[in-house]
Structure 1
Amino acid sequence: MDKQIEALSEWLKGKSGQTLHIEKKENEDTDIVRFELEEIGERPQDNPVDDYLERALLLRGSGSIVNGEGESVPLPGDTYEIGINELAIGSQSGDRLELTNDRATYALSVEAPQS
């Protein structure tokens, strides 16, 4: 496994059971997701012609996304994908990680528990 992918996978495994704040910037669009991470897996690239089936880390759990009106709506499924083609990890600290792939940039951070 590539060192960047292994580092991301290990960082995510260490955050299992916590809520992640994921900010994804792709083209001129920014998505903000809150995701309660239960476990992670990996999908191999089965069909190199179909971009939607690229190799990816699969975050399993539940979450919501902030829509264009600023409302939080549930994600359509129990999986959030991060493509790992051309993955590069930028800055990293205990509870924050920045990365890029061939499509987008991501900032992942652990949300403080609600009291």
Structure 2
Amino acid sequence: MLVGITILLVFQLIGEVTAYFLGGFVPGPVIGMAMIAVVLTLTGGKPVLEPAHRQTLDTSRTILANLGILFVPAGVGIIQHLDLIRDRGLALLAIVLLSTVITLAVTVWIFILVKRLSGGYAND
């Protein structure tokens, strides 16, 4: 399983690097997933690569089979606190929206500040 996870993470890293150099037009994990799908398809019949191929597929199947477990805690928390959501749902929505806007504004401000400090803007 360790070999399979390593292969998956290496392809995600390759995808992230590729996405960086492409300007982030396509997310890195999507590029990595497409690349590993192509590589696994092309190397499926090679006896030398069969162990790595099999371990990667087995690891992927195990992760996908257990993916629902990651959503159980959030779902249980929501169900347990439906009364709070009903009573304070509007306030929660307002807080989430406001904090999202504030986070976006601060992120843009910091980006502009770092860009100016690093000489990214010539005439500002």
The structure, 1 or 2, with the larger RCO (C-alpha pairs under 8 Å, 6+ apart) is 1
Which has more helix, going by share of residues? 2
Structure label with greater radius of gyration: 2
Query: Which interval holds the TM-score relative to the shorter structure?
Result: under 0.3
TM-score, scaled to structure 2: 0.21
Which has more strand, going by share of residues? 1
